[in-house]
Structure 1
Amino acid sequence: MKIKYIFILLSGAISLSLASCKKELVDINQNPNATQNPQPDYLLTAAIKNTADTYWGTANNMDASLLFVQYWAKIQYTDPDRYIYTNGSFQDLWTIGYSKGIVNLNKIIALADAQATPNYKGVALVLRSWVFTLLTDQYGDIPYKQSINIDEFLTPAYDAQKDVYFALLDDLKAAQASLDPSGKAILGDVIYGNNITSWKKFANSLRLRIALRIADREPDKAKQVLADIQAEGSGYISSNGEIAQVLYDASPNQNPISNLFDTRDDYRISKTIVDKLFELKDPRLPVYASPTKDPTPKTYVGIPNGLLVGDASSLGFTKTSKPGTYFLAPKAPAVIISYAEVLFDQAEAVARGFIAGNAAALYTQAIQASLKQYGITDTDISTYVNSAAVQYDASNFKKSIGNQKWIALFGQGLEAFAEWRRLDYPQLQPAVAGALNEKMPVRFIYPGTEQSLNGTSYKAAVAHQGADVLTTRLWFDVN
């Protein structure tokens, strides 16, 4: 009941006036039919599943970040594609991230300390760091320190984005120290099935991601993080078989995208990415896009982002392409970090002078890994990576890596949105009928419940970061 109580507080269904009687309510409202000492394996599975569903689901992925980075577009109900949102539009990532992700993971960490099961602690720290990264990447300043002790701080203060990233790097370093492949096994792990060696690589891959997130602001810190990873020696995700992802199953445990397309038909693939894949003769086109239902000259037809409803629907439901069947399948995975991303990150780290290596070779390997991830043949891979348009440009690593990473991250809306803002490639154009005066979104707005339930902390965050609007750049997003 205590976890349920915290969830209610965070989700906005209870007023701040109840804070003074928190202890009494928790003591009184005990469910005699529910355990008060949850098992870490159940909590772990729940935290992974709930976060993955939110990360890959409608509000944050399909109706926001996939549109912002122009992977998908809307053919009906086009307001989100035109950047028209309410202060409740971005509630899910915040509410579920904290209440069903961080709260559960905090409990696992406490149980692991009490029961001397360090592998549970290490895994929970990795996952909690991922959830916090999703939150700060999208909103900017967020509650971090006090949200870890939510029993004590019912209206947690916000931490500056820089401080959040730095704290997460410390947490991931601590996770590495806890994770022991020869230690006691864990249960409930639906990502790696108790392969602790893979969890150590996942932790380092996430450290690499965050190090690059801060690289334009804090290059010395980023370089030190990568040196620490090298000294620690566990390495990074090193094959497509080690991708950090959640594998879904048949209904009712199907991929959220598959679930939505069972009953709705208002999304199409964006013209922006279809045009780019055609331009590069990219063999991932039939993976990312479905053929039009009615025959068309090009077979794959995307629609421009941000059309008015009438203009979008006039293009024809049967003459425009849905996303590819790979992504619509019930068992399609929710990818957290791919091998291709890790290789692109290493290529960038070399280009920035953070680590030794061959940036061009790592860049090419990253493209190859992405193509292999989708079953592209070796012959087609060779043709593609050797084409002039795909060659690495050492004079502008952000352009080369940014464009190809954008293609490789297809489907991972939140991560692609963060990387597009950081690298400034591809150079996307605002929605056709966008509502932001020819600008594009560069963050999520805070949920409206924060203004009503955590108003003092919310106002302090806005005063520090800037107006709570879609066009306020975050700390990591250096123009």
Structure 2
Amino acid sequence: MLKNILYIIIFALALSSCNSTLDEINKNPNATETPLPPYLLTSTLKQGADLYWGSESNFNSSLLFVQQWAKIQYAEPDRYDVSNTSFTSLWNTGYSTLITDLNTILNFSDQQANSNYKGIALTLRSWTFLLLTDAYGSIPYKEAGLKVTPAYNTQKEVYTGLLEDLKQAQSLLGTANGTVTGDLAYKGNIAKWKKLVNSLRLRIALRISDKEPALAKQAVIDATTDAAGLISSNSEIFQFVYTSSPQQNPASAWFETRDDYRISKTLVDKLYELSDPRLPVYAQLPSDASVGKYVGGANGLSNSAANSQGFAKTSKPGTYFLTSQSPAVIFTYSEVLFDLSEAVARGYIAGDAEQFYKNAITASFNQFGITDATVISNYLNQSIVKYDATNYAKSIGIQKWIAFFGQGLDAFAEWRRLDYPQLTAGPATVLDGQIPSRFFYPGTEQSLNGASYQAAVAVQGKDILTTKLWFDAK
């Protein structure tokens, strides 16, 4: 027995020595063992922009659901013929990369990261959680990053928690709280970050407005009266500006080697109906010059029907969105103005809802380089465009949908919330005439976090595309 014990001790010591040696061998001499806040911030901004504007979360899903883009081949996603492996990048990158790296910054000591880094990290983490809950519903929130199998929180809990997180972010941010480098969005301008925080608070307040109107009203008041203000011009848009390949806009990279998307017929027809000058920005003329006008691709077709529309006879998205340097726009001045219009219409704050609405459309025009005052005035004065105080959701919903072109995740959230424009599923779609209301949870959640997943589904409803989320359930 003693001999056996001695063998075990000797083996354990040898194994420990071996592991120590392997640890030394496996060290990468070119890698830092202590990540630095500027590098983590830069990485988060870049990967967050890629995620938001990339194929899986944007033009191969949400942009199809809201009928801004359409598929002209490989049309299964446009028919909603998808599975629980179809929307994994938003979940996986959101949790394993973005939230993980942002939590690292938040857990740094004050000597490692000043409070401005932490305020920015909390802002970006709140934005990431917002994307996740808007798309999936109940999600791991309070225990995310703390447990291997975190519990899910309801969407109501997530939204209300994010409002508190953003209050904390605002308290951490200050022009006297230290400099920030690695910020490729606002170049370390803390005043702009503070405006983004309030703008996000305003967005979330309206997300919950149909379910928790009293809380929504207070959150709107808090966001609009905060001394830091809101995003107040197109120069303060929150966006990531790309450079050249390989650090290029994801849509640009896609179209370099593939040609399977077109601007949606639904959107093209609406822009023609409104004589909207953004049409030449949003779309290209078909490569067949004989067509002579913009032609959108229909959504929800079979593969053969989609192909038969003609690659040369339909319009690709505009070059504004398909160049290497095209920005990943994430939060616009136009959105803030639409939100203020709605907040006034709901009676949350005082103001002129119609004027905010007009200013929002003007800001969208200006964002895309349309500045002619006569063109803008003529557009706004059309009866079909004029603000309808008796149905603000329709006026704001349609124009917000147009202004959100390319921002699929947020266009999808606002379309579900406002119920405008009224879209119709394509003829070959597989959901009995319904359009998706959410993303599937990744299939790995069932195997890796099964108990939490099952508990969430039991409360929220079946893990299917047509289950209405809390904010959307009228």
Q: If the TM-score is normalised by the length of the shorter chain, which range does it land in?
A: over 0.9
CA contact (8 A) 1:112 1:118 kept: no
Structure 2: how far apart are the matches of 1:96 and 1:29?
28
Please name the residue that 1:303 is paired with: 297
Change (3 A) 1:364 1:28: farther
Kindly indicate whether the alpha-carbon contact (under 8 Å) linking 1:51 and 1:100 is maintained by their aligned counterparts in 2: no
| Counterpart check, 1:278 vs 2:275 | no
- For the residue of structure 1 that corresponds to 2:262, the secondary structure is strand
Amino acid at match of 2:380: V
Tell me the residue number matched to 2:337.
343
Q: Secondary structure at the match of 1:335?
A: strand
List gaps (5 residues or longer) in structure 1.
Answer: 1-24
Shift of 1:116: 5.8
SS in 1 for 2:363: helix
- 1-structure distance, mates of 2:209, 2:290: 45
Deviation at 1:142, TM superposition (A): 0.2
C-alpha displacement of 1:203: 0.4
Q: In structure 2, what residue type is equivalent to 1:388?
A: S
For 2:471 and 2:111, locate their aligned partners in 1 and report how far apart those are by CA, in whole Å.
Answer: 37
Aligned-partner residue type, residue 130 of structure 2: T
Q: Deviations over 1:62-97 (max 9, x none)?
A: 110000000000000000000011211010000001
Runs of 4+ in 1 over 6 A off after TM superposition: 25-30
| Cα distance change on mapping 1:440 and 1:116 into 2, 3 Å | closer
Counterpart of 1:369, as a letter, is A
Other-structure match for 2:446: 451
Q: Does 1:54 align with 2:48?
A: no
**Residue 327 of structure 1 aligns with which residue?**
321
Q: Is 466-475 or 31-40 further displaced after alignment?
A: 31-40
How far the C-alpha of 1:389 sits from its partner, in A, is 1.2
- For the 8 Å contact 2:291–2:313, the answer to whether it is kept is no
Query: C-alpha separation between the residues in 2 aligned to 1:357 and 1:266?
Result: 45
Q: Secondary structure at the match of 1:146?
A: coil
Give the counterpart letter for 2:471 in structure 1. F
CA distance in 2, matches of 1:116, 1:407: 40
Q: Distance in 2 between matches of 1:348 and 1:271?
A: 28
Deviation at 1:280, TM superposition (A): 0.2
Aligned to 2:231: 237
Instruction: Name the CA shift for 1:296/1:357 in 2 (closer, same or farther; >3 Å).
Output: farther
Structure 1 CA distance, aligned partners of 2:214 and 2:249?
A: 40
CA distance in 1, matches of 2:315, 2:153: 42
Query: Post-superposition shift, 1:298?
Result: 4.9
The reply to whether residue 139 of structure 1 matches residue 133 of structure 2 is no
Which amino acid in the other structure matches residue 32 of structure 2? T
CA displacement at 1:29 relative to structure 2? 6.3
Alignment correspondent of 2:197? 203
2:83 is aligned to 86
Deviation of the 1:148 alpha carbon: 3.8
- The answer (yes or no) to whether the contact 1:204–1:236 under 8 Å persists in 2 is yes
Q: Report the counterpart of residue 414 of structure 2 in structure 1.
A: 419
Counterparts of 1:20-31 in structure 2, within 5 Å, are none
- Equivalent residues in 2 for 1:119-268, closer than 5 Å: 119-149=116-146, 153-268=147-262
What is the CA–CA distance in structure 1 between the aligned matches of 2:199 and 2:228, rounded to whole Å? 10
Between structure 1 and structure 2, the one with the greater Rg is 2
Q: C-alpha root-mean-square deviation of aligned residues, in Å?
A: 1.6
Q: Does residue 1:115 correspond to 2:100, yes or no? A: no
The whole-number CA distance in structure 1 between the counterparts of 2:224 and 2:330 is 22
In the alignment, residue 404 of structure 1 is paired with which amino acid?
Q
Tell me which of 333, 355, 364 is aligned to 1:361: 355
Displacement, 1:387? Answer: 1.5
The reply on whether 1:388 has 2:383 as its aligned counterpart is: yes
**Corresponding residue of 1:461:** 456
TM-score under structure 1 length normalisation: 0.92
Q: Distance in 1 between matches of 2:319 and 2:206?
A: 32
- How far residue 36 of structure 1 moved from its aligned partner, in angstroms, is 2.5
Aligned residues: percent identity? 59
Asked if the contact 1:53/1:255 (under 8 Å) is kept, the reply is yes
Preserved contact between residue 257 and residue 328 of structure 1 (Cα < 8 Å): yes
CA drift of 1:115 comes to 3.5
Give the TM-score normalised by structure 2.
0.93
* Alignment equivalent of 2:73, drawn from 73, 76, 80: 76
| Structure 1 residue 179, shift from structure 2 partner | 0.4
